[in-house]
């Protein structure tokens, strides 16, 4: 009888150890899954932060260059970008006078225009927005390589705003042609 009790005790002990190991194994698998998920989220957050930092650099460069373009258009800056009182307005940069700001947001360019833009005919509007797009490309390309075929020839999708109101956007078939909300 003693042998029978010992045998039952040993079998019971083996069963308890087996269940314990299974529970530890299951817990370990759950911990690994949680760690993997946490690492994935951390990597995604780092990539998003990097993208935001890159966009901030791009937008800062675009703003700086737009300010230069506006100074040359008005004749308030010399050819080196220094203030001058007797400068000559440069018509090559006249487009920038009706542009308030240009913002790059991922794969979209947002051009914010001043009220005078609405008085322009369609041809002049086209020139202003195309010039704003092309002026931003060099700054974008400094931090985020643009593909000559895909990005430059096709153009970057562009939205046009007057204050915070959308007034136009690129056509999907050709980003250098625009639909106007009027």
The domain locations on the chain are 55-180
With a pLDDT cut of 70, the percent of the chain lying above it is: 82
CA distance 141 to 136: 9
Section 159-182 average pLDDT: 94
Entry pTM: 0.76
Q: Model confidence over 67-104: pLDDT tens digits?
A: 999 999 999 999 888 999 988 999 999 999 999 999 99
């Amino acid at each position: 009888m003693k042998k029978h009790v010992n045998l039952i005790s040993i079998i019971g002990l083996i069963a308890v150890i087996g269940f314990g190991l299974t529970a530890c194994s299951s817990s370990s698998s759950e911990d690994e899954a949680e760690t993997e998920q946490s690492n994935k989220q951390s990597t995604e957050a780092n990539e998003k932060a990097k993208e935001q930092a890159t966009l901030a650099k791009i937008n800062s460069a675009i703003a700086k260059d737009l300010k230069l373009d506006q100074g040359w258009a008005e004749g308030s800056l010399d050819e080196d970008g220094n203030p001058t009182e007797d400068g000559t307005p440069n018509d090559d940069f006249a487009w920038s006078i009706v542009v308030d700001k240009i913002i790059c947001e991922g794969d979209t360019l947002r051009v914010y225009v001043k009220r005078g833009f609405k008085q322009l005919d369609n041809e002049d509007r086209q020139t202003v927005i195309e010039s704003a797009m092309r002026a931003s490309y060099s700054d974008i390309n400094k931090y985020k390589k643009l593909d000559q075929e895909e990005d430059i020839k096709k153009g970057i999708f562009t939205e046009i705003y007057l204050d915070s109101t959308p007034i136009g956007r690129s056509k999907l078939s050709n980003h250098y042609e625009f639909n106007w909300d009027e």
